[in-house]
């Protein structure tokens, strides 16, 4: 059995559960709302559930930020799926939480909502709100997150600052475009992590940025000694998506010990 203590905004989630819950906002993946209430009433009611006094100015700001102001008098049942998703976000923000959970909020939403949502998330983050986001869109995590956690087979396999994670697990590549094609890899480069393209015009060298020496100087020196001229050099690095795929392709703990 697991055990421990969870602290939310300085409050124990068991002993001080009311204060802890008041500090948390949740946007669930499922579209569950009161179909017969108006947008304004349901968002305002959510604020009151957390013991917050009425604040029409804040509710108006949230609705405007989510492009819901024109729909404020509409019944929830008349809204599209994308608009209902906006209402869920507005409900979660109604009581001004310090911690906001977003459970795949961009799943199945239109491009306009996605842009509105991420603009608001950035503003909240800059204002000091802690955002905990689950997503299958790796580019969103790469663009938005400060820290990344990866879950595989129900196990949290890594939690790390994004830049540190990409530096630790990512790889960099140096691509060398040659003036003349090679028929094979020069002996001086054998044993190195260098690949020659099928047309013989491109060398690709993969290196680890964590090492004291990347080996790039050695590679260029070898090319010069062999009289191999090149016309272009460029570097690239692993994306977060590539790192994610490399992590989840590793065997699950159960499979590894079977």
Q: What is the mean pLDDT of residues 145-162?
A: 81
Asked if residue 104 lies in contact with residue 136, where contact means CB atoms within 8 angstroms, the answer is: yes
Which domains can be identified in the chain, with CATH numbers?
7-136 (3.40.50.300), 171-237 (3.30.70)
Q: What is the pLDDT of residues 41-63, one digit of tens each?
A: 999 999 999 888 999 999 999 99
Cβ neighbourhood burial of 89 (10 Å; 0-12, 13-18, 19+): buried
> What is the chain's length?
258
Report percent pLDDT > 70 for the chain. Answer: 85
- Of the ranges 3-17, 143-157, 189-203, the best mean pLDDT one: 3-17
163 vs 23, higher pLDDT: 23
Please state, in angstroms and as integers, the Cα–Cα distance from residue 82 to each residue in 58, 93, 117, following that order.
Answer: 22, 17, 11
Q: What is the mean pLDDT of residues 111-140?
A: 83
Q: What is the pLDDT of residues 62-100, one digit of tens each?
A: 999 888 999 999 999 999 888 888 899 899 999 999 999
- Of the ranges 46-55, 120-129, 173-182, 246-255, the best mean pLDDT one: 46-55
Q: What is the pLDDT of residues 8-27, one digit of tens each?
A: 999 999 999 889 998 999 98
Angle made by CA atoms 239, 243, 245, in degrees to the nearest 5: 115
111 vs 73, higher pLDDT: 73
Q: Please tell me the predicted confidence (pLDDT) of residue 256.
A: 40
Least confident stretch, 53-62, 125-134, 196-205, 228-237: 228-237
- Cα gap 258→255, rounded to integer Å: 5
Q: Assign residue 107 a region: left if phi > 0, alpha if psi is -120 to 50, beta otherwise?
A: beta
Asked if residue 85 lies in contact with residue 109, where contact means CB atoms within 8 angstroms, the answer is: yes
Q: Please tell me the predicted confidence (pLDDT) of residue 37.
A: 93
Q: Please tell me the predicted confidence (pLDDT) of residue 240.
A: 62
Q: Please tell me the predicted confidence (pLDDT) of residue 40.
A: 96
241 — pLDDT class (breaks 50, 70, 90): low
Report percent pLDDT > 90 for the chain. Answer: 23
Q: Please tell me the predicted confidence (pLDDT) of residue 58.
A: 95
DSSP H helical segments within 102-151, as ranges?
Answer: 111-126, 138-144
Asked whether the predicted pLDDT for residue 148 surpasses 80, the reply is: yes
245 vs 96, higher pLDDT: 96
Asked whether the predicted pLDDT for residue 138 surpasses 90, the reply is: no
């Amino acid at each position: 059995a697991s055990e421990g203590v969870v602290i939310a905004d300085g409050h124990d989630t068991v002993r001080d559960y009311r204060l802890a819950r008041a500090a948390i906002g949740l946007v669930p993946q499922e579209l569950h709302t009161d179909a017969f209430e108006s947008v304004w009433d349901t968002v305002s009611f959510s604020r009151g559930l957390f013991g917050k006094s009425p604040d029409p100015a804040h509710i108006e700001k949230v609705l405007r930020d989510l492009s819901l102001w024109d729909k404020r008098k509409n019944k929830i049942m008349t809204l599209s799926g994308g608009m209902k998703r906006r209402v869920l976000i507005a409900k979660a923000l109604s009581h001004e939480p310090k911690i906001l959970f977003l459970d795949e909020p961009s799943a199945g939403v239109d491009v306009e909502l996605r842009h509105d949502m991420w603009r608001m998330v950035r503003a909240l983050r800059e204002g000091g709100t802690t955002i905990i986001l689950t997503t299958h869109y790796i580019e969103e995590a790469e663009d938005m997150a400060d820290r990344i956690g990866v879950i595989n087979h129900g196990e949290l396999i890594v939690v790390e600052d994004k830049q540190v994670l990409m530096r630790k697990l990512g790889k960099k590549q140096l691509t060398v475009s040659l003036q003349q094609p090679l028929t094979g890899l020069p002996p001086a480069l054998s044993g190195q992590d260098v690949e020659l393209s099928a047309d013989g015009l491109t060398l690709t060298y993969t290196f680890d940025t964590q090492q004291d020496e990347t080996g790039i100087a050695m590679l260029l020196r070898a090319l010069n000694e062999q009289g191999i001229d090149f016309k272009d050099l460029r570097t690239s690095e692993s994306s977060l998506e590539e790192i994610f795929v490399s992590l989840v392709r590793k065997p699950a703990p159960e499979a590894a010990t079977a």
